[in-house]
Chains A and B, each alone.
Chain A
Amino acid sequence: MSSQPGTGNHFGQGGVSDDAVIPGGTLLASPDFDRTTFSTAPREGRGTARGHHGELLQGVFEWSGGLHRGLVTLPCPTMSTEVTVRITEGAPAWTVDPPWKTKALRAALATAGILGTGAAGGTVSVRSNIPSGFGMGSSTSDVTATIRAVLNAFGRDLPTSRIARIAVEAERAADPLMFDRMLLFAHREGMIIEDLHVRMPPMKVLGFVARPDPVETLAFTPARYSSWEIECFRALRGLLRRGAREGSVQALGRVATASARLNQRFLRVDRFASLLQVMADSGAAGIQVAHSGSVVGLVFDAADPDLARKTALASRGLLRVGISRTWEFCTEGDDEHLPDP
Chain B
Amino acid sequence: MSTFRIREPFADAVESAVLPRLIRLSGGLYAAAFQLMKLLPAQFVLRRAMEQGLLTERTTVIETTSGTYGLGLAMVCRRLGLPLILVGDPAIESPLRRRLEDLGARVSIVSGQAVRTGGIQQARLDRVERIRQRHPDSFIPGQYDNPMHINAYGRVAELITESFPRLDALVCPVGSGSSSTGIAGFLRMVWPELILIGVDTTGSVLFGAPNGRRRLRGLGNGLLPQVLDHSLFDEVHWIPAKDAFATTRRLHTDHTLFMGPTSGASYHVARWWAERNPGATVLAVMPDEGHRYQRTVYHDAWLGREGFAGDEVAKEPLDIAHPGELGQVWSRYPWGRRTRAQVVEERATLDAR
Contact = CB atoms under 8 A, between A and B. Distances in A.
Interface of A: 1, 196-198, 227-228, 230-239, 241-246, 248, 250-251, 254-255, 257-258, 261-262
Interface in B150-176: 150-155, 157-166
A261 B4 CA distance: 31
A232 B160 CA distance: 12
Contacts of A233: 154
Contact of B186 (A197, A234, A246, A254): A234
Contacts of A246: 165
Which 9 residue pairs across A and B have the least CB separation, nearest first?
A: A231-B154, A238-B161, A238-B162, A234-B158, A235-B157, A238-B158, A239-B161, A234-B154, A235-B186
B165 A232 contact: no
B157 to A, nearest CB: 4
Contacts of A258: 189-190
Given A235-B157, A237-B158, A242-B161, 15 more contacts: A198-B3, A227-B48, A227-B148, A230-B151, A232-B154, A235-B158, A235-B161, A237-B161, A239-B161, A241-B3, A244-B3, A246-B165, A251-B166, A255-B190, A257-B190
A227 B191 CA distance: 20
17 contacts: A1-B4, A197-B3, A231-B153, A231-B157, A232-B154, A235-B161, A236-B189, A237-B158, A237-B161, A237-B162, A238-B161, A238-B163, A243-B165, A246-B165, A250-B166, A254-B191, A257-B190
Contacts of A243: 165
B189 A262 contact: yes
B166 to A, nearest CB: 8
Nearest to B52: A227
Contacts of B150: 228
A251 B165 contact: yes
B71 interface: no
Contacts of B159: 238
B187 interface: yes
B13 interface: no
B1 interface: yes
A262 B188 CA distance: 12
Nearest to B151: A231
A227 B157 CA distance: 15
Contacts of B147: 228
B190 A239 contact: yes
A332 to B, nearest CB: 14
A277 B312 CA distance: 48
Contacts of B191: 254
Contacts of A198: 1, 3
A228 B158 contact: no
Contacts of B157: 231-232, 234-235, 238
Interface of B: 1-6, 48, 147-148, 150-155, 157-166, 185-187, 189-191
Given A234-B158, A241-B162, A196 B3 contact: yes
Contacts of A232: 154, 157, 185-186, 189
A102 B4 CA distance: 40
Contact of B3 (A237, A239, A245, A250): A245
A238 B1 CA distance: 18
B148 A236 contact: no
Given A232-B189, A235-B161, A236-B189, A227 B151 contact: yes
Among A231, A233, A244, A245, chain B packs the most CB atoms within 10 A around the CB of A231
A245 B5 CA distance: 12
Nearest to A246: B165
Contacts of B190: 235-236, 239, 254-255, 257-258
A64 B138 CA distance: 30
B39 to A, nearest CB: 16
Contacts of A257: 190
A96 B351 CA distance: 79
Contact of B165 (A196, A197, A248): A248
B165 A235 contact: no
A231 to B, nearest CB: 3
Contacts of B5: 1
Contact of B189 (A230, A235, A244, A248): A235
A12 to B, nearest CB: 26
B32 to A, nearest CB: 13
A261 B150 CA distance: 20
A256 B150 CA distance: 24
A245 to B, nearest CB: 6
Contacts of A227: 48, 148, 151
A239 B280 CA distance: 18
Contacts of B152: 231
A174 B6 CA distance: 29
Contacts of A254: 190-191
B187 A235 contact: yes
A244 B165 CA distance: 10
A230 B4 CA distance: 26
Contacts of B158: 234-235, 237-238
Contacts of B163: 238, 242
A1 B1 CA distance: 14
Nearest to A255: B190
A236 B190 CA distance: 7
A196 B2 CA distance: 9
Given A227-B151, A232-B154, A232-B186, A239 B4 contact: no
A112 to B, nearest CB: 36
Contact of A234 (B1, B4, B6, B155): B155
A254 B158 CA distance: 14
A134 B306 CA distance: 69
A227 to B, nearest CB: 5
A196 B152 CA distance: 25
Contacts of A235: 154, 157-158, 160-161, 186-187, 189-190
Contacts of B48: 227
A243 B161 CA distance: 9
B189 A197 contact: no
A1 B153 CA distance: 24
B227 to A, nearest CB: 12
A181 B101 CA distance: 53
Among A239, A243, A261, chain B packs the most CB atoms within 10 A around the CB of A239
A65 to B, nearest CB: 10
